[in-house]
Amino acid sequence: MSRTYVVTGAASGIGKSTSELLTEQGHRVIGTDLRDAEIVADLSTASGREQLVEEVTRVSGGGVDAVLAVAGLATPNAATVAVNFYGTVATLEGLRPLLLRSPSPRAVAVSSMAALFPPDETLLNALLDGSETEAMARAAELEAGDAQRSSLIYGTAKRALSRWIRRQAPTAEWADASIPLNAVAPGVVYTPMTAYIMSDAAARSQVAAMVPMPLNGFFEPRGVATLLAWLTSEDNAHLCGQIIYIDGGSDAVLRGDTVF
């Protein structure tokens, strides 16, 4: 049966590949991005997030079957926190009322295996239990620091997002409303986001050392798209708050027995 899906980050990489797959499967995809999308909205700002919700409500007629929050940045600056955490949360929370009209609503976010890297605890706490103003101020401090400090921004925002998903998924808003809410956590995927790694042999070996992927190594976005399509299909009725590492084994290598 044809369903209506909202995909953020639909113009590139994983979001684009997922939109293409869902369309091939016969579904209606409402793609959103900064450009080249049915709805153009900037998830780094409060007004852009509101615009996303308003426009999706309008073009969908007030109901959607699934929300896929894929959009993200990987730059070592505060904008990455604005998009990857606040933009993703606003997408999921803002579009949740539209899911209530679906007989089989689903929601998923794209986190990252980078959530496993040691975070900046001050930023992590501000994201999960503080205000956006506090979190953005801490992100600006990290951005102004040296490369080691600014490199903490991406993984910390993704760790906060993974925790947010686990905290929210079993609650009245999601589980009690029969909406499976989960995330995927990819390893290194060939997209424009990682093009700089692929074009530089030294960067490639440095990333390969940080992200061990014994199962088939770096891979194409279609691999993530297939999992996202299943997670947001009617077939997925019982996964709740899972962070699924589609990472060629980096989670198994790095965390080993500590997760079971």
**Residue 118 in tokens:** 């040691």
Measured from the CB of residue 84, what is the shortest distance to ligand NAD in angstroms? 6
Tokens of 107: 């929601």
Q: Is 155 in the site for ligand NAD (CB under 6 A)?
A: no
The C-alpha atoms of residue 178 and residue 170 are separated, in whole angstroms, by 10
Q: Which is nearer to ligand NAD, 104 or 168 (CB)?
A: 168
Which are the catalytic amino acids? 154
The per-type count for the chain, helices as H runs and strands as E runs, is 12, 7
Considering only CA atoms, which of 137, 140, 13 is closest in space to residue 71? 13
Contact between 232 and 66 (Cβ < 8 Å)? yes
Kindly write out the interface string for residues 2-41 of this chain, putting x where it contacts ligand NAD by CB under 6 A and - elsewhere: -------x-xxxxx-----------------xx-------
The site string for ligand NAD over 39-58 (x = CB under 6 A, - otherwise) reads ---xxx--------------
Whether 233 and 158 have beta carbons less than 8 Å apart is answered as: no
Given the complex with ligand NAD, which of 66 and 188 has the nearer CB atom? 188
Residue 188 near ligand NAD by CB under 6 A: yes
| CA distance linking residue 19 with residue 28, whole number of Å | 9
What is the pairing mode between strands 181-186 and 106-110? parallel
For ligand NAD, give the closer residue by CB, 93 or 234.
93
Shorter beta-carbon distance to ligand NAD: residue 105 or 186 = 186
Measured in degrees and rounded to the nearest 5, phi and psi for residue 33 equal -170, -175
Q: Is 112 in the site for ligand NAD (CB under 6 A)?
A: yes
- Give the nearest distance from C-beta 97 to ligand NAD in angstroms: 21
Residues whose CB is less than 8 angstroms from the CB of residue 224 and which lie 6 or more positions away in sequence, other chains included:
14, 17, 18, 110, 184, 186, 189, 246
Q: Under the criterion CB under 6 A, does residue 152 sit at the interface with ligand NAD?
A: no
Residue from the set 186, 212, 241, 248 that interacts with ligand NAD by CB under 6 A:
186
Which 58-77 positions form the footprint of ligand NAD (CB under 6 A)?
Answer: 70-74
- Smallest distance, ligand NAD to C-beta of residue 55, A: 12
Candidates 169, 189, 207, 229: give the one binding ligand NAD (CB under 6 A).
Answer: 189
Spatial separation of the C-alpha atoms in residues 39 and 62, rounded to whole Å: 15
Start-to-end CA distance of the chain, whole Å, equals: 36
Q: Looking at residue 193, what DSSP letter applies?
A: G
Q: How many residues bind ligand NAD (CB under 6 A)?
A: 27
Question: Where does this chain bind ligand NAD (CB under 6 A)?
Answer: 9, 11-15, 33-34, 42-44, 70-74, 83-84, 110, 112, 186, 188-189, 191-194
